[in-house]
Amino acid sequence: MKFISTRGDAPATTLSGTIAAGLAPDGGLYVPAEIPRFGVDAFAHCRTLPQTAARLLAPFFADDPLAPELETICREAFAFDAPLRALATPRDFVLDLFHGPTAAFKDFGARFLAACMRRLPRDSDKALTILVATSGDTGAAVGAAFAGIAGFRVVILYPDGRVSPRQAHQLGCFGGNVSALRVAGSFDDCQQLVKQAFADAELRERVPLSSANSISLGRLLPQMAYYAQAALAHWRGTQQPLHFVVPTGNLGNGFACVLTRACGLPIGQIALATNANQTLHEFFAGAAYTPRASIATLANAMDVGAPSNFERLRWLYPDAAELRREFRVAAIDDAAIAQTIGSRFRSHGEISCPHTVTAIRLLETLRGEGADGDWAAVATAHPAKFDRIIEPLIDTKVPVPAALADLLARPGAALPLASDYPALRDFLESGAPGTV
Ligand SMILES: *Cc1c(COP(=O)(O)O)cnc(C)c1O
């Protein structure tokens, strides 16, 4: 399959080409030139997540040098499950995406991207530096996915003091070829520093750079697999489509759900829950699309004021009126997040992370309006990553899953970095670990 730019002004390329390039040369995002269509029968022999993933992604990999490796890549990336679990309220489910090594759904995309990138041919014998700005979970997932892989170095920038203490610990604990820099600034400052590095042609001569951000199709496409797997299992049991509510920041996970439905999988309605960052909510309420700086909320991994994958949604739904009719979008503020964490625990004994409860809250609203059928809220992170927020609200300890406990048991050390480009450039040039 060929991939084209949302802006229509870049040559079509292969999947490997898009993974190596990140952004298309015209500044747009890569999208598939055509959308494959599947019936449920196409998955008759697929039972496990890696099998479903390999079947679903085969058309996207067709003609690519990575195609012969797709099954191996899927087994390597999808080494843990994404179970659909019933909630206490009838016909409500959660899709648990936090069973990976860093306890957030970002593990699926990061591990798939790493599995692809380590198999791509390289034109330099220098280590490739994956430079990533993170508002919380991406950096840890990318660090975990590339840790110890020869030929790669990971440099993570995060806003000091604006990620949860456990997220910060995780980011600093990999060591070896992974460095975490805590930046005196906001997430937007971190992104700005990363952009400056990518724009620095002289630096890139000496230090080959690559990104792993959520616009990469190497992260986006694998996120379709768990929607397909959950919807197919539900269809086999009930002959009914499954509806989803997706906690949304940059819209990568939400767009993956939309694309899976476009491929013909039995997914019904899709609703998007954001935190108090209003950009999407205002657009869907009829206002012009107005990206802006993000504000800090309890659901920090969704603190996004300019959702990068919105451009892909517009490509799929060029008619704004149709787009607005198609998706229900709600902005859930911190008061509602805190209230929902408390009330779900008191009424049902359920504990969810602040991101996941934005979706559960929207699902409660939809049910209140009479929505029927089976709905799944997407659980994007394990609540134990956000113990400092959750425990005071429920007055109970959140149990820590084994994979997260392993990471937290290691010493964590992030280096301080001024929010200042020369400081980052010097660090990148300072022969840090990972040179091959
Ligand atoms: C990244 C993240 C989100 C938002 O996902 P997007 O793909 O950016 O919309 C939601 N919840 C958690 C826990 C995350 O880490």
* Per-residue pLDDT reduced to its tens digit, 192-239: 899 899 889 999 999 999 988 778 999 999 999 999 999 999 999 999
Mean predicted confidence (pLDDT) in 281-294: 96
Q: What is the Cα–Cα distance from 376 to 231, expressed in whole angstroms?
A: 10
Query: What is the whole-number distance in angstroms between the Cα of residue 44 and the centre of ligand 1?
Result: 31
Residues forming beta bridges with residue 241, ordered by sequence position? none
**pLDDT at residue 436 greater than cutoff 50:** no
Residues forming beta bridges with residue 180, ordered by sequence position? 156
Which of 355, 358, 361, 362 to mutate to test ligand 1, by most ligand atoms within 8 A of the CB atom?
355
Please check whether residue 149 is in contact with residue 120, taking contact to mean a CB–CB distance below 8 angstroms. Answer: no
Q: What is the Cα–Cα distance from 258 to 317, expressed in whole angstroms?
A: 11
**Mean pLDDT over each residue of the chain, to the nearest integer:** 94
Q: What is the pLDDT of residue 162?
A: 87
**pLDDT at residue 433 greater than cutoff 80:** no
**pLDDT at residue 403 greater than cutoff 90:** no
- pLDDT confidence of 435, banded at 50, 70, 90? very low
Neighbour-count burial of 41, counting CB atoms closer than 10 A to its CB (0-12 exposed, 13-18 middle, 19+ buried): exposed
**pLDDT at residue 414 greater than cutoff 80:** yes
With a CB cutoff of 8 Å and minimum separation 6, the contacts of 146 are 114, 130, 152, 154, 177, 178
- pLDDT confidence of 432, banded at 50, 70, 90? low
Q: What is the Cα–Cα distance from 73 to 159, expressed in whole angstroms?
A: 32
- pLDDT confidence of 374, banded at 50, 70, 90? very high
Query: What is the whole-number distance in angstroms between the Cα of residue 303 and the centre of ligand 1?
Result: 9
Q: What is the pLDDT of residue 431?
A: 66
Q: What is the Cα–Cα distance from 16 to 422, expressed in whole angstroms?
A: 32
* 243 in contact with ligand 1, CB cutoff 6 A: no
* 301 in contact with ligand 1, CB cutoff 6 A: yes
**pLDDT at residue 114 greater than cutoff 50:** yes
**pLDDT at residue 81 greater than cutoff 50:** yes
Q: What is the Cα–Cα distance from 163 to 381, expressed in whole angstroms?
A: 14
**pLDDT at residue 290 greater than cutoff 70:** yes
Query: What is the whole-number distance in angstroms between the Cα of residue 77 and the centre of ligand 1?
Result: 18
Six-digit token string for 426: 């010097």
With a CB cutoff of 8 Å and minimum separation 6, the contacts of 205 are none
Six-digit token string for 260: 């899976």
What are the backbone dihedrals phi and psi of residue 273, each rounded to the nearest 5 degrees, phi first? -110, 125
**pLDDT at residue 94 greater than cutoff 80:** yes
Mean predicted confidence (pLDDT) in 12-38: 93
Query: What is the whole-number distance in angstroms between the Cα of residue 156 and the centre of ligand 1?
Result: 17
Mean predicted confidence (pLDDT) in 142-161: 95
HSE, side-chain direction, 13 A CA sphere, residue 269: 16
* 354 in contact with ligand 1, CB cutoff 6 A: no
**Domain segments of the chain as ranges:** 77-105+218-402
- pLDDT confidence of 434, banded at 50, 70, 90? very low
Please check whether residue 29 is in contact with residue 309, taking contact to mean a CB–CB distance below 8 angstroms. Answer: yes
**pLDDT at residue 144 greater than cutoff 60:** yes
Is CATH 3.40.50.1100 correct for 77-105+218-402?
A: yes
Query: What is the whole-number distance in angstroms between the Cα of residue 254 and the centre of ligand 1?
Result: 9
Could you give the C-alpha distances from 44 to 89, 226, 229, in angstroms and in order?
A: 31, 16, 12
Q: Who has greater pLDDT, 213 or 287? A: 287
Q: What is the Cα–Cα distance from 288 to 30, expressed in whole angstroms?
A: 24
Query: What is the whole-number distance in angstroms between the Cα of residue 380 and the centre of ligand 1?
Result: 6
Amino acid, single-letter form, for residue 114: A
What is this structure's pTM? 0.95
Mean predicted confidence (pLDDT) in 411-433: 88
With a CB cutoff of 8 Å and minimum separation 6, the contacts of 121 are 65
Q: What is the pLDDT of residue 215?
A: 86
Six-digit token string for 179: 């460095």
Atom number of ligand 1 nearest to Cα 247? 10
* 383 in contact with ligand 1, CB cutoff 6 A: no
**pLDDT (tens digit per residue) in 126-143:** 899 999 998 878 999 999
Six-digit token string for 290: 């107005």
Q: What is the Cα–Cα distance from 196 to 107, expressed in whole angstroms?
A: 26
